[in-house]
Amino acid sequence: MSRRRRALAWIDDRLRAAAVNHGTDAVGWVSLDTRHEGSLTVAGGRSLYGGQLGIALYLAVRARVGEMERDDGNPGALARRAVSPWLSCDVSEIETRHTGGTNGIGALVYGFTRLAEETGDERYADRASEIIDVTTERFIRADDRHGVVYGNAGLILALTAHYTRQEDDRAVALARVAGDHLLETATERADGLAWETDGVAAAGFAHGSAGVGYALARLAAATGDRRYAEAAADALLFEASRFDDETVQWASGPSHSRHGVGEGWCWGRPGHALARVAAADLVETLPNRVVDRGRRGVAAVGTTDYDNDTLCHGTFGDVAVLTAASHARTAPLDRARRLTSTALAQWRQRGRFRLAETAHVPGGRPSLFRGLAGIGHTLCRLQAPDTVPSVLLLE
């Protein structure tokens, strides 16, 4: 058995062992709630980032890619049980405060759309469509977070992903509403467009202009509307002033970084670089310096010595970025494989993956972006890069 297969089996065993039954047909996981002094809670939440939807997506991918045996303990069965309460309830009971693609309405749309694709069960696609149908323009226009995680950029990515699979006109219509709201709320700076949250114009993929720029590029590709393509270029140009030619880094600000330089997909170089090379695949008119810096950033991905292995801001986030960049023809897939080989050798030596805030959590964090499910998803995508979409891009 290969080291990759051993690692996936190790992750599956821990997700099974940590699963907590709720009634006869639902399951959850124990997780750490950092908002309440590190207390243990039964992981719920409908988010893709840290909740059960993200875990379910990994399990569904694992069941298909791994061709697991069908029994009550296999990943496919656990995926179904993880989201069963949200299929059986009335759609009006599914509420969220945000529009975002990993934490919000967008997460639900994307998660259920992808579950339908992985499992072939159209009930998931129907649920995604029902959520889109009850989402109002007023709710979208109330967004003040803007970015991929919590805001309208993430909603655009989820809706365009749904549209490409289901050809749901309502999805692209709402994506336009979100895109127009981003154009209306943008702040013009000397070097491009920025979006402010609490008075701060953030940089980076998860919460800043890089992610917004990529989302607008996706919307431009889906609609053919040049306004979105031009705004995508301006969003990516805004962060050009934060680029350091010598270190090939984008400054993100001291509150989200070490020494003002962000790390990982969320705030750092991997996310900045990925946004640029992926947007260049969608919009031919991006300025050359945007594309060139994206390629230089990709060339430097994999050189950071992280203190964790997570998808959001750790070693396997770099693997996922390099895998996605290989599709954009800016990085050979062998780079992702070599980095994975090194990370798995270290896993074998330590006997565990390095996850944030896991001292008292059985098996470690189970979640997609900061836990075991994300590492598993990255390994599955590396095994089947042509059939497992990038979750970092919400493809």
Question: Tokens 């946004």 correspond to what residue?
Answer: 275
The string of pLDDT tens digits covering residues 78-110 is: 899 989 888 888 888 887 899 999 999 999 999
What HEC string does the chain produce?
A: CCHHHHHHHHHHHHHHHHEEEECCCEEEEEEEEHHHCCEEEEECCCCCCCCHHHHHHHHHHHHHHHCCCCCCCCHHHHHHHHHHHHHHCCHHHCCCCCECCCCEHHHHHHHHHHHHHHHCCHHHHHHHHHHHHHCCHHHHHCCCCCCCCCCHHHHHHHHHHHHHHHCCHHHHHHHHHHHHHHHHHCEEECCEEECEECCEECCCCCCCHHHHHHHHHHHHHHHCCHHHHHHHHHHHHHHHHHEECCCCEEECCHHHCECCECCHHHHCHHHHHHHHHHHHCCCCCCCHHHHHHHHHHHHHCCCCCCCCCCCCCCHHHHHHHHHHHHHCCCCCHHHHHHHHHHHHHHHHHHCCCCCCCCCCCCCCCCCCCCCHHHHHHHHHHHHCCCCCCCCCCCC
Q: What is the pLDDT of residues 231-255, one digit of tens each?
A: 999 999 998 778 889 999 888 654 4
Residue 91 contacts residue 82 (beta carbons within 8 Å): no
Of residues 357 and 312, more confidently modeled: 312
Contact 63, 121 (CB under 8 A): no
Instruction: Please give the pLDDT value at position 4.
Output: 93
Residue reference for tokens 């008119």: 285
d(CA 54, CA 262): 24
Distances (CA, A) of 235 to 4, 176, 181, 318, 346: 38, 17, 14, 23, 38
Tell me which residue of 149, 139, 164, 142 sits closest to 106, measured CA to CA.
149
Least confident of 111-120, 167-176, 192-201, 291-300: 192-201
- The strand order across the sheet containing 26-33 reads 19-22, 26-33, 39-43
pLDDT at 365: 86
How far apart, in whole angstroms, are the C-alpha atoms of residue 241 and residue 209? 12
> The pTM is what?
0.93
Residue 373 has pLDDT above 70, yes or no: yes
Of 135-149, 286-300, 359-373, the range with the lowest mean pLDDT is: 359-373
> Angle of helix 372-383 relative to helix 333-350, nearest 10 degrees?
140
Confidence of residue 73 (pLDDT cuts 50, 70, 90): low
**Nearest-10 Cα torsion for 103, 108, 114, 120:** 150
Report pLDDT for 239.
80
Distance, in Å, from the CA atom of 392 to the CA atom of 381, rounded to the nearest integer, reads 11
User: Are the beta carbons of 147 and 211 closer than 8 angstroms?
Assistant: yes
Can you give the pLDDT at residue 367?
Answer: 93
| pLDDT value at 256 more than 60 | no
- Supply the mean pLDDT for the chain: 89
Check if the beta carbon of residue 146 is closer than 8 Å to that of residue 89. Answer: no
Residues 6+ apart with CB under 8 A from 220: 226, 227, 228, 229, 232, 282, 283
pLDDT for 44 beyond 80? no
| Greatest Cα pair distance in the chain | 59
